[in-house]
Structure 1
Amino acid sequence: MSSVSSLVVLFLQGPPGVFARTIADSLEQAGATTLRVNLCAGDWLGWHDSRCVSYRKRLTDWPAWLRAYCIEKQVTHIVYYADRVPYHVAAAEVGAELGITCLTYENGYLRPDWITLEHCGMSAHSRFPEDPDVIRTVGSALPEIDRQPRYRYPFINEAVNEVSWNMANVIFSLAYPGFFRDKLYHPVIDYLSNIPRFAMARRRNRQANHLIDDIISTDLPYYVFPLQLQSDYQLRFNSQYDHIADAAEEVIQSFARNAPGAARLVFKIHPLDNGIEPWSRILRTLARKHGVKKRVVLVDGGNLNHLLTHAAGSLTINSTTGLYSLRAGCPTKVLGIALYDIAGLTCQKSLDDFWRDGSAPDTDLLDALERLLAASIQVKGCFYTKEGREAAATLMAERIMSGRVNQPQAHCDRPPRLEKALERGIVTTFAEQIATRGKTERWTYAWRG
């Protein structure tokens, strides 16, 4: 490991707010050099001191510019939030070419109160092992996890940062004319759509909890499919589906043909869904098409853990709700690419076989997995309170300086899930993202069934 004074750490986009700057300040205090590239007005709003430079050219010119900048500044590390953002996909490729250590971070797997920090990428691009024997051996020897929530924050803290970042990019778009806003919905439409959802949230939750109680009280088997956000990067670039409805149809068709006749399939809308995707109409259309209209149920709100605890099984594309399902002892089927999709935890059989032959997760293996996650690629803290930011930033800086990211023994030389992603035709490179970028930023839902 080189001395701290030789480290030159380049930060790209972080979560909206000042979190990235907080990590950089911790590194600077320890003697490292930190740099920042601002790609848009929202980035500038969160961090614009002497360490920053602005990139205002086109996305297609970004890899060549970044390569030259890293060579000029002798960059040793590149750190970015959300690894599938096109700018960050290119950065990982440039880093691999130049021998630069690339680190990515995101909301944690062990939520609440945790942040993920790992090498290169997540999901399909994660270096975290998937061999259950390795995970069991290494994880079982690690200490218990601190599961005490310490950094709770009201949703308004996150919302203010998110809205400020997005609206700065809309209002001051001319300041960064080349910025490619890789969003599924235009921010104005997204936020306006959320207003009625927030206004009716309490009522929806009451109704949903009553419906959940009714579903459980029948004592009939049911399967739960918690819906992700259509705009979720993990869905868009770590699964084979262009739209969640494509996954929903695959699941409903298989359910109709293979599930027990008395069973029901329960879809649950994400609590932060903006209402643009008409899930009720989409699912009703699909259920009618496959002859199971009376057996498909949509829940909008309510307690997911309560629903999972009594379920016969759960399905997910690659949401972290899959971990909640495993903790509830619920047989779980992953449709996309997920870090926790591991033999012994999730169902490795086909979707058609899952309905009647899904197996409960191995609780010892799950415990070992979570211990290894906590020790190697999770840090305690949060993005949206001062105390949580400083705690997480200090730990992240220490791991970066000591070279302990993905340690102990949680680093594979090649992403072990990448072959599966390639087999499914999942977009994995910057060039592929450039070729498909016309699919971003739309005003209405895309699925037309």
Structure 2
Amino acid sequence: MSVLLLQGPLGPFFDHLARRFKQVGLPVHKIHFNGGDESYYYQNNALAFSGSPEQWPAFLSQFMRDHNIKLVMAYGDCRFYHHEAKRLCINNGVQYIALEEGYLRPNYITLEVNGVNGHSPIKHDGVEAYRPMHTIHDEVVMPGNFLKRTRYAIKYYVTNILKKQKFAHYMHHRAYNAFAEAGCWIRAYARKQFYKISEPSASRLTRKSDFFLVPLQVHNDAQIEFHSQYESIEHFIQEVMLSFALNKCTQRLVIKHHPMDRGHVNYKQYINKLAKELGISQQVDYIHDQHLPTLLKACKGIVTINSTTALQAFYHEAPVKVMGNAFFNMPGLTDQKTLAEFWVNPEKPDMEFADRFRGYLLDHGQINGSFYCQFRFTCDNIIQYMQSHGMLDLQPVNNT
């Protein structure tokens, strides 16, 4: 059984995972698509794909036959290269495993067969049939890693520039300029420090008056492109604010920027202009890094496209209205009424079902660990999880 790794999260995580796979006897191969991929992988079992996107399916099909690939792992399933790989895997009886940031953050990562988020195999019937309540044992808290992620991102994009000629046909999953991306991560750190002193704390916000929370997603999130009807985050903001104004809501609307998008975009002018046009300027707050659990506990409800912030909201009994497509948009968890009705009478989740849902997640694809630190611990947990769920046929993990 040979494993093929495609693109992973920013940083050296896939290098560590490959090492652990080899230590338990699995042949591992890696395909690089750009200089950033190469810069974090330090082993000799990798091949650079420098062909065009049109050549990728035939190249991968031949590679999988030549190396007897039985398992493909990648970070996400919506990138062009990964989407084509998943299609080939399904057609040829090869396992495709998608990794993603944890649904239950910050102490978990996600591992699912054939897709994550909107492509997740999680269904209402599966949760309904899941009776045992999960009890967390020995959960390891993951340390903060923003600075590490910033360094990883800067190195990744700078190396892309330096090796651009080698990978001239590479098609990135998001429109970007490598110099600009590196600069955005530097700006994100500076803005983080600025917002600490310039914006009110979460506790101060919650004391002002009742409010609805709108957690934004990353501006080029694949969940928006592939799992929603929205053309952009601005499109979503406009619909929410217009509905809020038309329904003459008396509460406040707190719009929270995504922390990983801090250096890339700023919606302040757009939100202020729209709020003024709608006559709700005094009711709208635009915030960045305030403590999310504090906001979730106090809000009247949250409105989201399909952000996994909703999974934290369930824990705090906050009503949730999903505006896009999401695996967690199901009766018992989210409000099934229209947005106009939600403003008037937001429905809280059924906490027994929400508890069962959390237990189901923890037993189905949530792995204690991080892509950016605690590498050995996380890789061991992945291998143990894959063994226990029939994805690998191995002897117990070698911890020597």
TM-score with structure 1 setting the length: 0.81
1:153-168 paired onto structure 2 within 5 Å = 153-168=144-159
Q: Read off the aligned partner of 2:313 and give its amino acid letter.
A: S
> Does residue 1:26 correspond to 2:12, yes or no?
no
Task: State the secondary structure of the residue aligned to 1:329.
Answer: coil
Q: Read off the aligned partner of 1:326 and give its amino acid letter.
A: F
> Does residue 1:198 correspond to 2:189, yes or no?
yes
> Does residue 1:303 correspond to 2:291, yes or no?
yes
Contact 1:322-1:332 within 8 A present in 2 as well: yes
Distance 1:78 1:291 in 2: 52
Distance 1:46 1:196, change over 3 A: closer
Report the alpha carbon displacement of residue 376 of structure 1 after superposing the two structures with TM.
1.6
Give the one of 119, 122, 127 matched to 1:125. Answer: 119
Distance 1:96 1:266, change over 3 A: same
Corresponding residue of 1:253: 242
Q: Read off the aligned partner of 1:144 and give its amino acid letter.
A: T
Report the alpha carbon displacement of residue 201 of structure 1 after superposing the two structures with TM.
2.8
Distance 1:32 1:10 in 2: 10
Give the one of 162, 165, 174 matched to 1:171. Answer: 162
Distance 1:400 1:308 in 2: 33
Distance 1:179 1:199 in 2: 31
Corresponding residue of 2:106: 112
Corresponding residue of 1:400: 386
Report the alpha carbon displacement of residue 114 of structure 1 after superposing the two structures with TM.
0.9
Corresponding residue of 2:211: 222
Distance 1:272 1:315 in 2: 19
Distance 2:73 2:92 in 1: 15
Distance 1:398 1:42 in 2: 29
Task: State the secondary structure of the residue aligned to 1:76.
Answer: strand
Distance 1:193 1:22 in 2: 27
Q: Read off the aligned partner of 1:382 and give its amino acid letter.
A: S
Distance 1:27 1:361, change over 3 A: same
1:314-393 paired onto structure 2 within 5 Å = 314-385=302-373, 388-393=374-379
Corresponding residue of 2:127: 135
Gaps of 5+ in 2: 392-400
CA-based RMSD: 2.1
Higher relative contact order (CA 8 A, sep 6+): 1
Report the alpha carbon displacement of residue 403 of structure 1 after superposing the two structures with TM.
4.3
Distance 1:301 1:18, change over 3 A: closer
Task: State the secondary structure of the residue aligned to 1:10.
Answer: strand
Gaps of 5+ in 1: 1-6, 406-449
Report the alpha carbon displacement of residue 268 of structure 1 after superposing the two structures with TM.
1.3
Distance 1:120 1:305, change over 3 A: same
Report the alpha carbon displacement of residue 115 of structure 1 after superposing the two structures with TM.
1.0
Distance 1:270 1:12, change over 3 A: same
Distance 1:193 1:31, change over 3 A: closer
Report the alpha carbon displacement of residue 66 of structure 1 after superposing the two structures with TM.
0.8
Corresponding residue of 2:228: 239
Task: State the secondary structure of the residue aligned to 1:43.
Answer: helix
Distance 1:329 1:344 in 2: 11
Give the one of 162, 176, 180 matched to 2:171. Answer: 180
Distance 2:97 2:284 in 1: 42
Contact 2:72-2:96 within 8 A present in 1 as well: yes
Task: State the secondary structure of the residue aligned to 2:200.
Answer: helix
Distance 1:320 1:299 in 2: 18
1:32-71 paired onto structure 2 within 5 Å = 32-71=26-65
Between 1:180-189 and 1:54-63, the stretch displaced more is: 180-189
Distance 1:204 1:30 in 2: 46
Report the alpha carbon displacement of residue 214 of structure 1 after superposing the two structures with TM.
4.8
- CA offsets, 1:282-340, max 9 Å, x none? 11222233332332221233222212211111111111211222222111111122232
TM-score with structure 2 setting the length: 0.91
Distance 1:197 1:152, change over 3 A: closer
Distance 2:375 2:177 in 1: 29
> Does residue 1:11 correspond to 2:5, yes or no?
yes
Distance 1:403 1:376 in 2: 9
Contact 1:142-1:375 within 8 A present in 2 as well: no
Contact 1:209-1:301 within 8 A present in 2 as well: no
Distance 2:316 2:366 in 1: 21
Q: Read off the aligned partner of 2:75 and give its amino acid letter.
A: Y
Contact 1:222-1:263 within 8 A present in 2 as well: yes
Contact 1:126-1:339 within 8 A present in 2 as well: yes
Report the alpha carbon displacement of residue 18 of structure 1 after superposing the two structures with TM.
2.3
Corresponding residue of 2:266: 278
Distance 1:111 1:41 in 2: 29
- CA offsets, 1:344-392, max 9 Å, x none? 111111112111122111111111111111112011111222xx21122
Report the alpha carbon displacement of residue 194 of structure 1 after superposing the two structures with TM.
4.5
Task: State the secondary structure of the residue aligned to 1:241.
Answer: coil
Task: State the secondary structure of the residue aligned to 1:31.
Answer: coil
Task: State the secondary structure of the residue aligned to 1:253.
Answer: helix
Distance 1:97 1:313 in 2: 43
Distance 1:290 1:194, change over 3 A: same
Task: Give percent identity, aligned residues only.
Answer: 27
Distance 1:313 1:184 in 2: 33
